[in-house]
Amino acid sequence: MKTLLAFIFLSSILLFTECKKYPEGPAISFRSKKERISNSWKVSELKINDVDSTAYYTNILHDYTLNINKSGSYTITYFVTVPNIGNITNTESGFWSFSSNKKDLNLSPSSISYGNVPSSSSWQILKLYEKELWLRSFDVNGKKTEFHLLPK
């Protein structure tokens, strides 16, 4: 009987570690992916090609906030300091969705306060906890950008 219980225990551990959807976790969650991703997020770390670029980024874009709503809409708000002009607040809004396998977050912008509306983008989800979100993307030149986000 002890052997059977040990086998069941080890099998369940292997099952949960092999079924982990995101590389950095979690292995299991009792909250849906939609519930976990719906939050107001701020940047805690930014890596570009594996180099910590957080300080550089936060000196250019201040108070960067990504709001993801359960309804499928999102907004990104930040302000930039422009010499001889001052602070300009910029807000991008649009719609978000998961890829069919829920391993990617797709952003489809529909408006922006200043500048041209950016193209749609897809971000690989590396970690999706209620209180932590890691996203990674590669541009057409192979530059890797990785955001680590925490609730605001």
Instruction: Quickly tell me which residue has 């936060």 as its tokens.
Output: 58
Is the pTM higher than 0.85? The answer reads no
The predicted structure's pLDDT at residue 16: 46
Given a contact cutoff of 8 angstroms between Cβ atoms, the answer to whether 67 and 40 are in contact is yes
Residue 14: per-residue pLDDT: 41
Q: Which pLDDT tens digits describe the chain residue by residue (152 residues)?
A: 555 444 454 444 444 444 567 776 677 777 899 999 999 999 999 999 999 999 988 888 888 999 999 999 999 999 888 788 888 899 999 999 999 999 999 999 999 998 899 999 999 999 999 999 999 999 989 999 999 999 99
Residue 59, H or E segment: helix 54-60
CATH 2.40.128.280 fits 29-151, yes or no: yes
User: How is residue 16 written in tokens?
Assistant: 């949960």
**So what's the pLDDT on residue 69?**
97
* E runs forming strands in the chain: 39-48, 51-52, 61-68, 73-82, 86-98, 104-112, 121-129, 132-138, 144-151
CA pair distance 3, 64, nearest whole angstrom? 54
